Amino acid sequence: MDTCCHSSLSATLLEGFPESLPPKFLVEHLDQLLVVDLRCSQLYSLGHIRGSYSLPLKKKKLLNSEVADSYVHKWLRKLSKFVDEERLKKNCVFHVVLYDHSSTETTKWNPIWKLFNRCHQLRLFDGSIFVLNGGFSLFSHLYPKDVVGCRVIEGSEKTAALVPLFRCNMFQDSAPCKIFSFVFLGNERNASDRDTLESLQITHILIVGEELVAHFPGVYEYKQLMIRDLETQELHPFLEEAIDFIERAKYSGKVLVHCYAGVSRSAAIVLAYLIYLGNTFEESWKFLVSRKKDIQPLGNFIRQLQQYEEQCKSLQLFDSCV
C-alpha cells in the first residue's frame, strides 16, 4: 500500500503532538486527515468543520461503566469503516482527528479521554488518533472559512463573536435551572422572558458574555462580565466581581446567571461560586451536574477553575494560621 500521507505526516510533523492537534495544523493539513465530529447530528447539520464526518458520541453511555465497553466497540467499528473508505478512495493511511464542542487535551473531565485511550489500546487502524485542541468552539472562531453553516455576529468594532448557528437553536428551550433557592442558571432566552423572571422572583441578573445585552434595564439589577466562549479566555479577572454580585443578591433577592446557551460560561461562573463556598472542584462539578446535566464548560475554563480551587485552599489555610 502506498503510505505517502502516513509517512509525510507521521515522520515529521506529527511527532510533536502526542495527544492533541492545534487548529492551525488541522487547517494546513485538512485534506490529509480524517476529521470526525463527535457532537449530535443536529449540531453537525447546523455547523461543522469542512469535510468532517459525523459520528455522534453518546457521552452518557461512555460514562456508564456497565455499557461503556460494548458502546466503545460499536463506535470504533463505525470509525474503522470511515477510515477504510478513505483509504480506498485515496490509497493512503489517514490519521484521525476527533472533536466535540470544546475538546482539549484528554483530561478526566472530558469523556473523550476514555474513547481516546481505548482507540490507542485497540489499534484498529494504521494511522494515529488525535483530539482537536479547543474543539469546534475555538476552530470556528479562528477559521470561519473552513466551517460549514456558521455566521458571524459583530459585538463591537474591536471584537467579533463568532456564534455558530447551533447555539441559536439548541439549549434555548429549557427553563432556568434552580441551583440554590437564590441562584438560577439559564440562557439568553430565559433572560429575555419577563414572565419567567417574574415567576421565579428574580431581582438580579448576571450576564456572562460580551455579545449579550440587558433586556430590562431599570427593572432588574444587572452585572455584565465581558467573557467570550473561547479557549483563550481568562476567567480569573472576573471571578471576584461575579461572586460579590451573587452574594449581594443572596441577601436581597434571587439571581439569574446566564450566558447564551447556559452550558459553558455561566456554568463556569456557578462552579466558581460553589468552589468559593468551600467545595472542591470535583464536589462542585458533581453538584452542578446533578442540577443541570447538560453543562459543558470549555476545557480551559475547567483548568482555571481547578487553579481557583487551589487559590481558595491557600487563602483558607492562611486565614486559619492568622
Active site residues: 259
CB 268 within 8 A of CB 305: yes
Residue 46, phi then psi, degrees to nearest 5: -90, -20
CB atoms within 10 A of CB 278: 11
Gap between the Cα atoms of 95 and 83, Å rounded: 8
* DSSP code of residue 52: P
Gap between the Cα atoms of 179 and 288, Å rounded: 7
Helix 265-276 and helix 299-321: axis angle, to 10°?
Answer: 20
Residue 42's closest CA among 59, 56, 60, 53?
56
Query: Which distant-in-sequence residues (6+ apart) come within 8 Å of 71 by Cβ?
Result: 58, 61, 62
CA torsion, ordered 48, 51, 54, 57, to nearest 10 deg: -70
* Sign of the torsion angle spanned by Cα atoms 125, 127, 132, 133: positive
Three-class SS of residue 185?
A: strand
